[in-house]
Amino acid sequence: MAEKIELNLISGRTIMQGVTMEGGKEKPAYRDACGIIELNPEDLKKLGIWHGTNVRVASQYGWVIVKAIKATQGPHPGLGWIPMGPWANRVIDPNTYSMGMPTFKGVPVTVEPAPEEKVLDSLAVLEEML
């Protein structure tokens, strides 16, 4: 039972990300929809955690606390998925490699259990690091 695993992180849209965004990003529903990472069942096992446990996701660019849940559109071995939003953007690769577009998909991350940590709402997850 490993305490830290390595994954390739991607981010993108989900229906609930869209709905809660339109409902007001400052509300808890948005945090519940986007402050998550979808992991394969084997990866949850490797981390030794249940679906719904908070984890610390870290890349060379930053870290963030999100809730680990079982992949809803999986399995996707080797991949972790965080819906687009300020949680994902704390860790994705900001480099544009001279063409303007940050690298929102495909950044190596580590994931480790952080059951005592809280997932912050969308305003606090920025304020924390400013």
Partner 1 sequence: MTKLITDVVCPFCGTLCDDLEVVVSDDGKELLEVNNACAIGAEKFLHSQAKDRLTRPRMRNEDGSWREVSYDEAAEFTAQMLAKSKKPLMYGWSSTNCESQVVGSHVAELVGGQLDNTATVCHGSTLIAVQDVGVPSCTLGEIKNRADMVVFWGCNPAHAHPRHMSRYSLFPRGFFTAKGHRGRSVVVVDPRPTDSANLADIHLQVEQGRDYELLSALRVAFRNEQLPDVVAGVPKETIYEVAEKMKNARFGCIFFGMGVTHSLSKNHNIDIAIQVTRDLNEFTKWSIMPMRGHYNVTGAGEVWGWQFGFPFCVDLSRGFARYNPGESSSNDLLMREEVDSVFVLGSDPGAHFPFSSVKKMNALPCVVVDPHITPSTVVADLHVPVAFVGVEVGGCAYRMDSVPIETHKVVDAPEGMLTDEEFLKLVLGRIKEIKGV
Footprint on this chain of partner 1 (rule: CB under 8 A) = 8, 10, 12-15, 18-19, 21-26, 61-62, 71, 73-76, 78-79, 81, 84-86, 89-90, 92-94, 96-106, 122-123, 125-127, 129-130
Nearer Cβ to partner 1, position 9 or 49?
9
Pick between residue 1 and residue 15 the one whose CB is nearest to partner 1: 15
22 or 116: whose CB is closer to partner 1? 22
The label of the residue with tokens 């719904």 reads: 52
Check if the beta carbon of residue 6 is closer than 8 Å to that of residue 108.
yes
Minimum Å distance from CB 8 to partner 1? 6
Q: CB under 8 Å to 71, separation ≥6 — which residues?
A: 38, 39, 40, 41, 81
CB of 34 to partner 1, least distance (A): 9
Q: Is the Cβ of residue 1 or residue 97 nearer to partner 1 in the bound state?
A: 97
Within a 10 A sphere around the Cβ of 15, how many other Cβ atoms?
Answer: 9
| Shortest distance in whole angstroms from residue 62 CB to partner 1 | 6
- Cis status, amide bond into 75, omega within 30 of 0: yes
Of 63, 123, 77, 86, the closest CA to residue 11 belongs to: 86
- Least distance from C-beta 23 to partner 1, angstroms? 5
Query: Quick check: helix, strand or coil at residue 21?
Result: helix
